[in-house]
């Protein structure tokens, strides 16, 4: 984490439901900022929540407020929540109602700003009419290009909203180290994702192999190509994009922070590869996909 901050990677993302109850991301962040209190003002902290104990999403104030207050409690005053996002849109509650509730909590000082997660372009428009949107977090990578053609990036440009690109390395698939489901450890949730399953992964590996040829040609790593491609979308769509790759090793953080300038020829070659090797399989299990793109 200190390596990331040293490299200027100061947008940190956590979640109320990330990790076990006794050591989730908020508790780990509390431990970090307790050890390095001087870093608190250097970091923009975005936290996702809004999911109840039954894993259901409740976008009413009655549902969202306890989540916000719990996140604040878990941080223990070590760091303010700069941006709070409901992990998914509650389809039974108008987004306007959720935004009004979060705006009230922002004005109370519980959070610094309001973000959106896994949303459609129309949802962004409706939400932005109620409250300023600090960020929109979506899955965006060479593995998940939907935002380039569903109007989300254009809408974020229209409202001057930064885009937070989660899983820019395709949950590790764009590292080239996953060749079959057997390469994932037992209990790894990715084994449940259609893209990683037999009958799909074999075709998806062809995409990785083709992209690796560009990385080899430029003398860089595939993760560097993947992250640089995401950043190249800034120029194409005229919107700020912040990729947030995760890592457990400082050397990987250094690798991922090395931004490349992809030439037009590189981008054209990548687009050709994407058209030749479309990704097979959904991003999540069927029941989770029903909650996505709200």
CA pair distance 64, 179, nearest whole angstrom: 40
Give which of 117, 106, 194, 200 is closest to 161, Cα–Cα. 117
Q: Please give the order of strands across the beta sheet that includes 44-49.
A: 11-15, 44-49, 83-86, 114-117, 135-139, 163-166, 241-244
| 36 catalytic per annotation | no
Which of 18, 32, 166, 284 is catalytic? The answer is: 18
**Which secondary-structure segment (H or E) carries 48?**
strand 44-49
The secondary element (H helix, E strand) that includes residue 14 is strand 11-15
Nearest residue to 86 via CA among 75, 97, 74: 97
Measure the CA–CA gap between 90 and 165, rounded to whole angstroms: 21
Rounded Cα gap, residues 58 and 92, in angstroms: 8
117: Cβ contacts below 8 Å, ≥ 6 apart = 48, 85, 86, 87, 88, 136, 137, 138
| Active site (catalytic) residues | 18
């Amino acid at each position: 984490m200190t390596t990331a901050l040293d490299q200027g990677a100061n947008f940190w993302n956590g979640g109320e439901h990330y990790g076990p109850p006794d050591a989730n991301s908020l508790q780990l962040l509390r431990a970090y900022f307790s050890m390095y209190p001087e870093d608190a003002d250097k970091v923009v902290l975005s936290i996702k929540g809004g999911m109840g104990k039954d894993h259901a999403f409740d976008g009413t104030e009655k549902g969202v407020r306890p989540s916000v207050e719990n996140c604040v409690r878990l941080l223990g005053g070590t760091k303010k929540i700069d941006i709070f996002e409901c992990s998914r849109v509650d389809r039974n509650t108008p987004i306007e109602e959720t935004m009004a509730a979060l705006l009230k909590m922002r004005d109370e000082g519980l959070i610094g700003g309001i973000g959106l997660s896994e949303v459609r372009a129309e949802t962004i428009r409706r939400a932005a009419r109620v409250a300023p949107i600090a960020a929109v977090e979506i899955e965006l990578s060479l593995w998940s290009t939907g935002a380039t053609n569903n109007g989300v990036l254009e809408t974020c440009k229209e409202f001057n909203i930064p885009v937070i690109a989660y899983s820019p390395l395709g949950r590790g698939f764009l590292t080239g180290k996953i060749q079959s489901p057997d390469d994932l450890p037992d209990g790894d949730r990715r084994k449940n994702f259609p893209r990683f399953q037999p009958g799909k992964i074999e075709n998806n590996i062809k995409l990785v192999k083709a992209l690796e040829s560009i990385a080899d040609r430029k003398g860089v790593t595939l993760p560097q190509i993947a992250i640089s491609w995401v950043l190249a979308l800034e120029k194409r769509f005229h919107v700020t994009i912040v990729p947030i790759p995760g890592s457990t090793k400082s050397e990987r953080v250094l690798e991922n922070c090395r931004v490349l300038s992809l030439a037009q020829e590189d981008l054209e070659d990548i687009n050709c590869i994407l058209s030749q090797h479309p990704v097979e399989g959904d991003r999540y299990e069927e029941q989770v996909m029903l909650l996505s793109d709200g």
